[in-house]
Structure 1
Amino acid sequence: MRWAFITDIHANRQAFEAVLADARAQGATRYALLGDFVGYGADPAWVLGQVMALATDGAIAVQGNHDEAVAQGSMPGMHPDARAVVDWTRAQLNEDQLRFLARLPMQAHGEPGHCLFVHANAFDPRGWEYVLGRAEAVRSMHASPARLQVCGHMHEPMLFHLSGTGKAGDFRPVAGVPMPLPGHRQWLAIPGSCGQPRDGNPAACYALFDPAKSELDDARITFQRVAYDVDAACAALRATDLPPAIVERLTRRLSLGE
Protein backbone atom coordinates (compact mmCIF):
# COMPACT_ATOMS: atom_id res chain seq x y z
CA MET A 1 0.00 0.00 0.00
CA ARG A 2 1.48 3.33 -1.07
CA TRP A 3 0.39 6.59 0.54
CA ALA A 4 0.49 10.13 -0.82
CA PHE A 5 1.04 12.91 1.73
CA ILE A 6 -0.27 16.23 0.38
CA THR A 7 -0.44 19.55 2.21
CA ASP A 8 -0.94 23.28 1.74
CA ILE A 9 -2.89 23.04 -1.52
CA HIS A 10 -4.11 26.61 -1.02
CA ALA A 11 -6.93 26.50 -3.58
CA ASN A 12 -4.48 25.90 -6.44
CA ARG A 13 -6.44 23.67 -8.80
CA GLN A 14 -3.69 23.29 -11.38
CA ALA A 15 -1.11 22.17 -8.83
CA PHE A 16 -3.50 19.79 -7.08
CA GLU A 17 -4.59 18.20 -10.34
CA ALA A 18 -0.96 17.62 -11.32
CA VAL A 19 -0.07 16.14 -7.93
CA LEU A 20 -3.08 13.82 -7.87
CA ALA A 21 -2.27 12.60 -11.40
CA ASP A 22 1.37 11.98 -10.45
CA ALA A 23 0.41 10.19 -7.23
CA ARG A 24 -1.93 7.87 -9.09
CA ALA A 25 0.70 7.21 -11.75
CA GLN A 26 3.15 6.34 -8.94
CA GLY A 27 0.71 3.79 -7.51
CA ALA A 28 -0.67 5.71 -4.53
CA THR A 29 -3.92 4.24 -3.24
CA ARG A 30 -4.27 6.06 0.11
CA TYR A 31 -4.08 9.75 0.91
CA ALA A 32 -3.30 11.92 3.92
CA LEU A 33 -4.22 15.58 3.40
CA LEU A 34 -2.59 17.87 5.93
CA GLY A 35 -4.63 21.04 5.79
CA ASP A 36 -4.64 24.54 4.32
CA PHE A 37 -6.86 23.46 1.48
CA VAL A 38 -8.01 27.05 0.95
CA GLY A 39 -6.44 30.50 0.95
CA TYR A 40 -4.28 32.24 -1.68
CA GLY A 41 -5.50 30.35 -4.78
CA ALA A 42 -8.32 30.94 -7.24
CA ASP A 43 -10.28 27.68 -6.92
CA PRO A 44 -11.22 26.93 -3.30
CA ALA A 45 -14.55 25.29 -4.18
CA TRP A 46 -13.03 22.90 -6.71
CA VAL A 47 -10.11 21.97 -4.46
CA LEU A 48 -12.36 21.44 -1.46
CA GLY A 49 -14.70 19.32 -3.54
CA GLN A 50 -11.80 17.02 -4.40
CA VAL A 51 -10.65 16.89 -0.78
CA MET A 52 -14.16 16.00 0.40
CA ALA A 53 -14.44 13.27 -2.23
CA LEU A 54 -11.10 11.79 -1.17
CA ALA A 55 -12.15 11.93 2.49
CA THR A 56 -15.37 10.10 1.63
CA ASP A 57 -13.20 7.39 0.05
CA GLY A 58 -11.12 7.04 3.22
CA ALA A 59 -8.46 9.74 2.99
CA ILE A 60 -7.23 11.31 6.21
CA ALA A 61 -7.78 15.08 6.34
CA VAL A 62 -6.83 17.54 9.09
CA GLN A 63 -7.45 21.24 9.58
CA GLY A 64 -4.94 23.96 8.75
CA ASN A 65 -4.85 27.55 9.96
CA HIS A 66 -6.31 28.90 6.69
CA ASP A 67 -9.11 26.34 6.91
CA GLU A 68 -9.87 27.45 10.46
CA ALA A 69 -9.87 31.14 9.46
CA VAL A 70 -12.26 30.56 6.57
CA ALA A 71 -14.55 28.35 8.65
CA GLN A 72 -14.76 30.98 11.41
CA GLY A 73 -14.99 34.02 9.13
CA SER A 74 -12.92 37.19 9.15
CA MET A 75 -12.16 38.91 12.46
CA PRO A 76 -11.89 42.64 13.15
CA GLY A 77 -8.22 42.39 14.12
CA MET A 78 -7.14 40.72 10.88
CA HIS A 79 -4.84 42.44 8.41
CA PRO A 80 -7.04 43.92 5.65
CA ASP A 81 -5.50 41.66 2.98
CA ALA A 82 -6.12 38.53 5.07
CA ARG A 83 -9.68 39.65 5.73
CA ALA A 84 -10.24 40.21 2.00
CA VAL A 85 -9.01 36.70 1.12
CA VAL A 86 -11.08 35.07 3.89
CA ASP A 87 -14.23 36.93 2.88
CA TRP A 88 -13.71 36.17 -0.82
CA THR A 89 -13.01 32.48 -0.11
CA ARG A 90 -16.11 32.09 2.05
CA ALA A 91 -18.21 33.57 -0.75
CA GLN A 92 -16.98 30.82 -3.12
CA LEU A 93 -17.95 27.95 -0.80
CA ASN A 94 -21.31 26.40 -0.05
CA GLU A 95 -22.62 25.52 3.41
CA ASP A 96 -21.53 21.87 3.17
CA GLN A 97 -17.98 22.93 2.34
CA LEU A 98 -17.82 25.46 5.18
CA ARG A 99 -19.20 22.83 7.56
CA PHE A 100 -16.57 20.35 6.37
CA LEU A 101 -13.77 22.84 7.08
CA ALA A 102 -15.14 23.60 10.53
CA ARG A 103 -15.39 19.93 11.49
CA LEU A 104 -11.91 18.87 10.39
CA PRO A 105 -9.84 17.43 13.26
CA MET A 106 -6.63 19.10 14.38
CA GLN A 107 -4.73 15.82 14.13
CA ALA A 108 -5.29 12.22 13.13
CA HIS A 109 -3.53 8.90 13.54
CA GLY A 110 -2.97 6.68 10.53
CA GLU A 111 -2.45 3.01 10.08
CA PRO A 112 0.88 3.05 8.23
CA GLY A 113 3.70 2.69 10.72
CA HIS A 114 2.06 4.48 13.67
CA CYS A 115 1.78 7.85 11.91
CA LEU A 116 0.53 11.12 13.34
CA PHE A 117 -0.83 13.66 10.86
CA VAL A 118 -1.06 17.30 11.95
CA HIS A 119 -0.87 20.58 10.09
CA ALA A 120 1.59 22.57 12.20
CA ASN A 121 3.14 20.48 15.01
CA ALA A 122 2.30 17.93 17.69
CA PHE A 123 3.19 20.04 20.74
CA ASP A 124 0.54 22.73 20.16
CA PRO A 125 -1.51 21.94 17.05
CA ARG A 126 -3.89 24.89 17.40
CA GLY A 127 -1.11 27.37 18.18
CA TRP A 128 0.09 27.13 14.55
CA GLU A 129 3.77 27.40 15.43
CA TYR A 130 6.11 26.53 12.57
CA VAL A 131 8.67 23.73 12.62
CA LEU A 132 11.44 26.09 11.55
CA GLY A 133 14.31 23.75 12.33
CA ARG A 134 15.68 20.98 14.48
CA ALA A 135 14.64 22.47 17.84
CA GLU A 136 10.95 22.68 16.94
CA ALA A 137 11.07 19.27 15.24
CA VAL A 138 12.47 17.63 18.39
CA ARG A 139 9.83 19.36 20.50
CA SER A 140 7.14 18.00 18.20
CA MET A 141 8.56 14.47 18.23
CA HIS A 142 8.78 14.55 22.03
CA ALA A 143 5.06 15.41 22.14
CA SER A 144 3.94 12.13 20.56
CA PRO A 145 5.07 8.49 20.58
CA ALA A 146 4.29 8.19 16.85
CA ARG A 147 7.16 6.73 14.86
CA LEU A 148 6.41 9.12 12.01
CA GLN A 149 4.88 12.56 12.23
CA VAL A 150 3.79 14.26 9.02
CA CYS A 151 3.28 18.02 9.16
CA GLY A 152 2.37 20.79 6.76
CA HIS A 153 2.45 24.55 7.43
CA MET A 154 6.09 24.93 6.35
CA HIS A 155 6.09 25.29 2.58
CA GLU A 156 9.54 23.73 2.09
CA PRO A 157 10.23 19.95 2.11
CA MET A 158 12.23 18.69 5.08
CA LEU A 159 12.88 15.48 7.02
CA PHE A 160 13.95 15.30 10.68
CA HIS A 161 14.85 12.34 12.90
CA LEU A 162 15.40 11.63 16.58
CA SER A 163 17.25 8.65 18.01
CA GLY A 164 16.47 6.81 21.24
CA THR A 165 19.43 8.54 22.88
CA GLY A 166 18.11 11.98 21.97
CA LYS A 167 20.40 12.69 19.03
CA ALA A 168 18.60 14.67 16.34
CA GLY A 169 19.35 15.25 12.69
CA ASP A 170 17.77 16.58 9.54
CA PHE A 171 17.85 16.11 5.79
CA ARG A 172 16.91 18.39 2.95
CA PRO A 173 15.44 15.74 0.64
CA VAL A 174 16.28 15.27 -3.02
CA ALA A 175 13.17 14.90 -5.14
CA GLY A 176 12.54 11.41 -6.45
CA VAL A 177 15.10 9.69 -4.21
CA PRO A 178 13.57 7.16 -1.76
CA MET A 179 14.79 7.52 1.82
CA PRO A 180 14.62 4.67 4.35
CA LEU A 181 13.02 5.41 7.71
CA PRO A 182 14.57 2.93 10.18
CA GLY A 183 12.15 1.99 12.93
CA HIS A 184 14.59 2.64 15.79
CA ARG A 185 14.24 6.40 15.22
CA GLN A 186 11.35 8.83 15.29
CA TRP A 187 10.78 10.83 12.11
CA LEU A 188 9.09 14.08 11.21
CA ALA A 189 8.40 14.68 7.53
CA ILE A 190 7.30 17.95 5.96
CA PRO A 191 6.25 17.21 2.35
CA GLY A 192 6.29 20.89 1.30
CA SER A 193 3.45 22.85 -0.23
CA CYS A 194 1.45 21.50 -3.13
CA GLY A 195 -0.08 24.84 -4.05
CA GLN A 196 2.51 27.43 -3.06
CA PRO A 197 6.11 26.18 -2.62
CA ARG A 198 8.49 28.73 -1.09
CA ASP A 199 11.93 27.28 -1.71
CA GLY A 200 12.61 29.01 -5.02
CA ASN A 201 11.19 26.13 -7.06
CA PRO A 202 7.59 26.63 -8.26
CA ALA A 203 7.02 22.90 -8.89
CA ALA A 204 4.36 21.40 -6.61
CA CYS A 205 5.50 19.30 -3.63
CA TYR A 206 4.15 16.14 -2.06
CA ALA A 207 5.55 12.88 -0.66
CA LEU A 208 5.02 9.16 -1.25
CA PHE A 209 5.21 6.76 1.68
CA ASP A 210 5.73 3.00 1.57
CA PRO A 211 5.13 1.34 4.96
CA ALA A 212 7.50 -1.39 6.11
CA LYS A 213 6.42 -4.80 4.84
CA SER A 214 7.79 -6.59 7.90
CA GLU A 215 9.75 -5.90 11.08
CA LEU A 216 12.93 -6.59 9.13
CA ASP A 217 12.20 -3.88 6.56
CA ASP A 218 12.35 -0.10 6.72
CA ALA A 219 9.53 2.15 5.64
CA ARG A 220 10.44 4.53 2.83
CA ILE A 221 9.50 8.08 1.94
CA THR A 222 10.05 9.77 -1.40
CA PHE A 223 9.65 13.51 -1.76
CA GLN A 224 8.24 14.46 -5.15
CA ARG A 225 8.27 17.65 -7.25
CA VAL A 226 5.69 17.98 -10.00
CA ALA A 227 5.74 20.67 -12.68
CA TYR A 228 2.33 22.15 -13.42
CA ASP A 229 0.81 24.98 -15.45
CA VAL A 230 1.80 27.93 -13.26
CA ASP A 231 0.69 30.40 -15.93
CA ALA A 232 -2.82 28.94 -15.84
CA ALA A 233 -2.92 29.21 -12.03
CA CYS A 234 -1.83 32.86 -12.27
CA ALA A 235 -4.41 33.55 -14.99
CA ALA A 236 -7.11 32.05 -12.77
CA LEU A 237 -6.12 34.42 -9.97
CA ARG A 238 -6.21 37.42 -12.30
CA ALA A 239 -9.73 36.43 -13.34
CA THR A 240 -11.02 36.71 -9.76
CA ASP A 241 -12.26 39.91 -8.14
CA LEU A 242 -9.65 39.79 -5.39
CA PRO A 243 -7.91 43.16 -4.85
CA PRO A 244 -5.24 43.75 -7.56
CA ALA A 245 -2.41 44.20 -5.05
CA ILE A 246 -3.16 40.80 -3.51
CA VAL A 247 -3.35 39.16 -6.94
CA GLU A 248 -0.01 40.69 -7.94
CA ARG A 249 1.69 39.41 -4.81
CA LEU A 250 0.21 35.91 -5.10
CA THR A 251 1.02 35.47 -8.81
CA ARG A 252 4.59 36.55 -8.14
CA ARG A 253 4.91 33.96 -5.40
CA LEU A 254 3.54 31.24 -7.65
CA SER A 255 5.84 32.16 -10.53
CA LEU A 256 9.00 32.32 -8.42
CA GLY A 257 8.22 29.73 -5.77
CA GLU A 258 8.69 32.21 -2.97
Structure 2
Amino acid sequence: MRLAILTDLHANREAVEAVLEHAARQHIDQYALLGDFVGYGADPGWVVDRVRALVDGGAFAVQGNHDAAVVRGPSPQMRPDPRYVVEWTRDRLAPAQIEFLAGLPLQQSHGDLLFVHANAWAPPEWDYIHSRAEAVRSMQATSRRVTFCGHMHEPKLYHLAATGKAGDFTPTPGMAIPLLPHRQWLVIPGSAGQPRDGDPAACYAVYDDAGGELTYWRVPYDTEGAGAKIRAAHLPQRLAARLADGE
Protein backbone atom coordinates (compact mmCIF):
# COMPACT_ATOMS: atom_id res chain seq x y z
CA MET A 1 0.00 0.00 0.00
CA ARG A 2 1.22 3.47 -0.87
CA LEU A 3 -0.15 5.87 1.72
CA ALA A 4 -0.23 9.68 1.41
CA ILE A 5 -0.12 11.42 4.79
CA LEU A 6 -1.51 14.96 5.12
CA THR A 7 -1.92 17.00 8.25
CA ASP A 8 -2.76 20.52 9.40
CA LEU A 9 -4.71 21.47 6.28
CA HIS A 10 -6.10 24.53 8.10
CA ALA A 11 -8.88 25.44 5.68
CA ASN A 12 -6.37 26.21 2.91
CA ARG A 13 -8.08 25.09 -0.28
CA GLU A 14 -5.26 26.17 -2.59
CA ALA A 15 -2.69 24.14 -0.67
CA VAL A 16 -4.91 21.06 -0.35
CA GLU A 17 -5.77 21.07 -4.04
CA ALA A 18 -2.08 21.30 -4.96
CA VAL A 19 -1.08 18.49 -2.61
CA LEU A 20 -3.86 16.16 -3.77
CA GLU A 21 -2.95 16.85 -7.39
CA HIS A 22 0.69 16.02 -6.64
CA ALA A 23 -0.29 12.89 -4.71
CA ALA A 24 -2.44 11.68 -7.60
CA ARG A 25 0.79 11.31 -9.61
CA GLN A 26 2.46 9.21 -6.88
CA HIS A 27 0.32 6.07 -7.40
CA ILE A 28 -1.37 6.50 -4.02
CA ASP A 29 -3.60 3.69 -2.75
CA GLN A 30 -4.95 5.45 0.34
CA TYR A 31 -4.77 8.58 2.45
CA ALA A 32 -4.17 9.32 6.13
CA LEU A 33 -5.40 12.71 7.35
CA LEU A 34 -4.00 13.74 10.72
CA GLY A 35 -6.33 16.52 11.80
CA ASP A 36 -6.60 20.29 12.03
CA PHE A 37 -8.69 20.50 8.90
CA VAL A 38 -10.02 23.91 9.95
CA GLY A 39 -8.60 27.06 11.53
CA TYR A 40 -6.51 29.93 10.10
CA GLY A 41 -7.69 29.61 6.46
CA ALA A 42 -10.70 30.94 4.59
CA ASP A 43 -12.16 27.73 3.09
CA PRO A 44 -13.19 25.52 6.03
CA GLY A 45 -16.33 24.15 4.38
CA TRP A 46 -14.55 23.09 1.20
CA VAL A 47 -11.72 21.42 3.11
CA VAL A 48 -14.07 19.56 5.48
CA ASP A 49 -16.10 18.30 2.52
CA ARG A 50 -12.93 17.15 0.74
CA VAL A 51 -11.72 15.32 3.83
CA ARG A 52 -15.14 13.73 4.30
CA ALA A 53 -15.10 12.51 0.69
CA LEU A 54 -11.68 10.91 1.22
CA VAL A 55 -12.89 9.25 4.42
CA ASP A 56 -15.92 7.91 2.54
CA GLY A 57 -13.37 6.39 0.15
CA GLY A 58 -11.57 4.60 3.00
CA ALA A 59 -9.06 7.22 4.20
CA PHE A 60 -7.89 7.21 7.80
CA ALA A 61 -8.66 10.47 9.61
CA VAL A 62 -8.26 11.77 13.16
CA GLN A 63 -9.37 14.88 14.99
CA GLY A 64 -7.03 17.80 15.65
CA ASN A 65 -7.19 20.48 18.33
CA HIS A 66 -8.62 23.12 15.96
CA ASP A 67 -11.29 20.64 14.85
CA ALA A 68 -12.16 19.97 18.49
CA ALA A 69 -12.31 23.72 19.20
CA VAL A 70 -14.74 24.26 16.34
CA VAL A 71 -16.93 21.43 17.67
CA ARG A 72 -16.93 22.52 21.32
CA GLY A 73 -16.01 26.19 21.13
CA PRO A 74 -12.55 27.66 21.78
CA SER A 75 -10.85 27.08 25.10
CA PRO A 76 -9.91 30.04 27.32
CA GLN A 77 -6.23 29.20 26.71
CA MET A 78 -6.48 29.79 22.96
CA ARG A 79 -4.57 32.79 21.64
CA PRO A 80 -6.67 35.67 20.22
CA ASP A 81 -6.09 35.03 16.48
CA PRO A 82 -6.94 31.30 16.43
CA ARG A 83 -9.80 31.94 18.84
CA TYR A 84 -11.30 34.51 16.48
CA VAL A 85 -10.91 32.14 13.51
CA VAL A 86 -12.55 29.28 15.42
CA GLU A 87 -15.61 31.42 16.12
CA TRP A 88 -15.66 32.62 12.51
CA THR A 89 -15.43 29.01 11.30
CA ARG A 90 -18.23 27.80 13.58
CA ASP A 91 -20.53 30.35 11.95
CA ARG A 92 -19.70 29.10 8.45
CA LEU A 93 -19.89 25.34 8.76
CA ALA A 94 -23.15 23.47 8.32
CA PRO A 95 -24.35 21.25 11.19
CA ALA A 96 -23.43 18.13 9.17
CA GLN A 97 -19.87 19.39 8.71
CA ILE A 98 -19.47 20.06 12.43
CA GLU A 99 -20.97 16.66 13.16
CA PHE A 100 -18.34 15.07 10.89
CA LEU A 101 -15.54 16.78 12.81
CA ALA A 102 -17.11 15.76 16.12
CA GLY A 103 -17.20 12.13 15.06
CA LEU A 104 -13.52 11.86 14.21
CA PRO A 105 -11.47 9.65 16.57
CA LEU A 106 -8.38 10.93 18.35
CA GLN A 107 -6.31 8.09 16.94
CA GLN A 108 -6.53 5.23 14.48
CA SER A 109 -4.29 2.28 13.79
CA HIS A 110 -3.72 -0.01 10.84
CA GLY A 111 -1.39 -2.94 11.31
CA ASP A 112 1.91 -1.53 12.59
CA LEU A 113 0.88 2.06 11.86
CA LEU A 114 -0.60 4.60 14.30
CA PHE A 115 -2.25 7.84 13.20
CA VAL A 116 -2.70 10.63 15.76
CA HIS A 117 -2.71 14.42 15.66
CA ALA A 118 -0.39 15.47 18.48
CA ASN A 119 1.25 12.53 20.26
CA ALA A 120 0.67 8.94 21.36
CA TRP A 121 1.03 9.39 25.13
CA ALA A 122 -1.98 11.69 25.66
CA PRO A 123 -3.83 12.48 22.40
CA PRO A 124 -6.60 14.62 23.98
CA GLU A 125 -4.13 16.94 25.73
CA TRP A 126 -2.58 18.20 22.46
CA ASP A 127 1.00 18.38 23.77
CA TYR A 128 3.62 19.16 21.14
CA ILE A 129 6.64 17.11 20.16
CA HIS A 130 9.35 19.76 20.24
CA SER A 131 12.32 17.53 21.03
CA ARG A 132 13.83 14.07 20.77
CA ALA A 133 12.82 13.35 24.37
CA GLU A 134 9.16 14.05 23.63
CA ALA A 135 9.34 11.94 20.48
CA VAL A 136 10.75 9.04 22.50
CA ARG A 137 7.95 9.46 25.03
CA SER A 138 5.42 9.19 22.21
CA MET A 139 7.05 6.14 20.65
CA GLN A 140 7.28 4.39 24.01
CA ALA A 141 3.56 4.97 24.55
CA THR A 142 2.63 2.69 21.64
CA SER A 143 3.55 -0.76 20.38
CA ARG A 144 3.10 0.36 16.77
CA ARG A 145 6.30 0.48 14.75
CA VAL A 146 5.49 3.70 12.86
CA THR A 147 3.58 6.65 14.30
CA PHE A 148 2.37 9.44 12.04
CA CYS A 149 1.45 12.70 13.76
CA GLY A 150 0.87 16.34 12.93
CA HIS A 151 0.47 19.38 15.20
CA MET A 152 4.06 20.44 14.55
CA HIS A 153 4.13 22.45 11.32
CA GLU A 154 7.70 21.51 10.38
CA PRO A 155 8.76 18.20 8.76
CA LYS A 156 10.77 15.92 11.05
CA LEU A 157 11.61 12.24 11.43
CA TYR A 158 12.53 10.49 14.70
CA HIS A 159 13.64 6.92 15.36
CA LEU A 160 14.16 4.72 18.41
CA ALA A 161 16.28 1.55 18.58
CA ALA A 162 15.56 -1.40 20.85
CA THR A 163 18.61 -0.36 22.89
CA GLY A 164 16.91 2.94 23.68
CA LYS A 165 19.15 5.00 21.43
CA ALA A 166 17.17 7.69 19.61
CA GLY A 167 17.88 9.95 16.67
CA ASP A 168 16.22 12.57 14.52
CA PHE A 169 16.77 14.50 11.34
CA THR A 170 15.10 16.93 9.00
CA PRO A 171 14.30 15.09 5.75
CA THR A 172 15.19 16.17 2.24
CA PRO A 173 12.07 16.45 0.01
CA GLY A 174 11.83 13.84 -2.72
CA MET A 175 14.38 11.48 -1.19
CA ALA A 176 13.14 8.00 -0.21
CA ILE A 177 14.08 7.04 3.36
CA PRO A 178 14.17 3.35 4.35
CA LEU A 179 12.39 2.84 7.67
CA LEU A 180 14.50 0.02 9.07
CA PRO A 181 12.32 -2.70 10.62
CA HIS A 182 14.29 -3.03 13.88
CA ARG A 183 13.49 0.56 14.89
CA GLN A 184 10.39 2.49 15.87
CA TRP A 185 9.69 5.61 13.86
CA LEU A 186 7.78 8.83 14.44
CA VAL A 187 6.89 10.70 11.26
CA ILE A 188 5.91 14.38 11.28
CA PRO A 189 5.05 15.29 7.65
CA GLY A 190 4.78 19.04 8.28
CA SER A 191 1.74 21.16 7.53
CA ALA A 192 -0.06 21.05 4.21
CA GLY A 193 -1.97 24.26 4.91
CA GLN A 194 0.40 26.39 6.98
CA PRO A 195 4.11 25.42 6.93
CA ARG A 196 6.25 27.19 9.53
CA ASP A 197 9.83 26.29 8.63
CA GLY A 198 10.52 29.25 6.37
CA ASP A 199 9.43 27.44 3.21
CA PRO A 200 5.87 28.33 2.08
CA ALA A 201 5.49 25.16 -0.05
CA ALA A 202 2.88 22.72 1.29
CA CYS A 203 4.12 19.58 3.06
CA TYR A 204 3.03 15.97 2.92
CA ALA A 205 4.61 12.51 2.91
CA VAL A 206 4.19 9.17 1.17
CA TYR A 207 4.78 5.84 2.92
CA ASP A 208 5.24 2.65 0.90
CA ASP A 209 4.69 -0.26 3.28
CA ALA A 210 5.78 -2.85 0.71
CA GLY A 211 9.19 -1.25 0.30
CA GLY A 212 9.30 0.17 3.82
CA GLU A 213 10.18 3.59 2.45
CA LEU A 214 9.05 7.09 3.37
CA THR A 215 9.30 10.15 1.12
CA TYR A 216 8.63 13.72 2.20
CA TRP A 217 7.37 16.17 -0.42
CA ARG A 218 7.07 19.96 -0.76
CA VAL A 219 4.47 21.32 -3.16
CA PRO A 220 4.35 24.98 -4.20
CA TYR A 221 0.85 26.46 -4.38
CA ASP A 222 -0.93 29.78 -4.83
CA THR A 223 -0.07 31.42 -1.50
CA GLU A 224 -1.17 34.81 -2.82
CA GLY A 225 -4.61 33.50 -3.70
CA ALA A 226 -5.03 31.81 -0.33
CA GLY A 227 -3.85 34.97 1.44
CA ALA A 228 -6.20 37.17 -0.56
CA LYS A 229 -9.14 35.05 0.62
CA ILE A 230 -8.04 35.49 4.24
CA ARG A 231 -7.88 39.25 3.81
CA ALA A 232 -11.24 39.37 2.02
CA ALA A 233 -12.82 37.40 4.87
CA HIS A 234 -11.48 39.98 7.35
CA LEU A 235 -9.59 37.31 9.25
CA PRO A 236 -6.42 38.38 11.10
CA GLN A 237 -4.18 39.79 8.39
CA ARG A 238 -0.96 38.24 9.67
CA LEU A 239 -2.43 34.83 8.84
CA ALA A 240 -2.21 35.80 5.17
CA ALA A 241 1.34 37.11 5.50
CA ARG A 242 2.62 33.97 7.18
CA LEU A 243 1.49 31.82 4.24
CA ALA A 244 3.79 33.74 1.91
CA ASP A 245 6.64 33.63 4.44
CA GLY A 246 6.19 30.01 5.53
CA GLU A 247 6.27 31.09 9.16
TM-score, normalisation: structure 2: 0.97
Return the alpha-carbon distance in structure 1 between the equivalents of residues 87 and 140 of structure 2. Answer: 37
Deviations 1:10-52 (A, max 9, x none): 0000000000000011111200000000000010000000000
The 3-state SS of whatever aligns with 1:140 is: helix
Q: Unpaired segments of 5 or more residues in structure 1?
A: 213-217
User: In the alignment, what sits opposite 1:44?
Assistant: 44
2:40·2:82 contact (CA, 8 Å) conserved in 1?
no
Pick aligned residue for 1:255 from 221, 244, 247: 244
Residue in 2 aligned with 1:149? 147
Query: Is residue 157 of structure 2 the alignment partner of residue 159 of structure 1?
Result: yes
Partner of 1:126: 124
The 5-angstrom pairing of residues 10-49 of structure 1 reads 10-49=10-49
Amino acid corresponding to residue 220 of structure 1 in structure 2: E
Distance in 2 between the 1:189 and 1:140 partners? 11
- Aligned AA (2:147): Q
| SS across alignment from 2:91 | helix
Aligned twin of 2:98: 98
Per-residue deviation, residues 46-86 of structure 1 (Å, max 9, x unmatched): 00000000000100000000000001023566544333211
SS in structure 1 at match of 2:147 = strand
Which amino acid is 2:204 matched to? Y
What residue in structure 1 maps to residue 115 of structure 2?
117
CA distance in structure 1 between the partners assigned to 2:205 and 2:76 by the alignment: 37
Amino acid of the residue matched to residue 148 of structure 1? V
Gap runs ≥5 in structure 2:
none
SS in 2 for 1:92: coil
Q: Which amino acid aligns with 1:103?
A: G
The answer to whether the Cα contact below 8 Å between 2:39 and 2:82 also exists between their aligned partners in 1 is no
In the alignment, does 2:246 pair up with 1:239?
no
Distance 1:74 1:176 in 2: 37
1:60-209 → structure 2 map (5 Å cutoff): 60-75=60-75, 78-111=78-111, 114-209=112-207
The two structures, once aligned, show a CA RMSD in angstroms of 1.1
Equivalent AA in structure 1 for residue 226 of structure 2: A
Residue 223 of structure 1 aligns with which residue? 216
Distance in 2 between residues matched to 1:95 and 1:196, nearest whole Å: 26
Partner Cα separation in structure 2 for residue 77 and residue 222 of structure 1 = 35
Report the residue type matching 1:186 in the other structure: Q
Q: Percent identity?
A: 59
SS of the aligned residue for 1:188 comes to: strand
- In the alignment, the residues of structure 2 paired with residue 186 and residue 209 of structure 1 have an alpha-carbon distance, to the nearest angstrom, of 14
How many angstroms apart in 2 are the aligned matches of 1:207 and 1:256? 21
CA distance in 1, matches of 2:180, 2:77: 46
- 2:113–2:148 CA contact under 8 A, matched in 1: yes
Equivalent-residue separation in structure 2 for 1:225 and 1:81 (angstroms): 26
Opposite residue 94 of structure 1, the aligned amino acid is A
Please identify, of 69-78 and 47-56, the stretch whose mean Cα deviation from structure 2 is larger.
69-78
Give 1:110 deviation, angstroms. Answer: 1.8
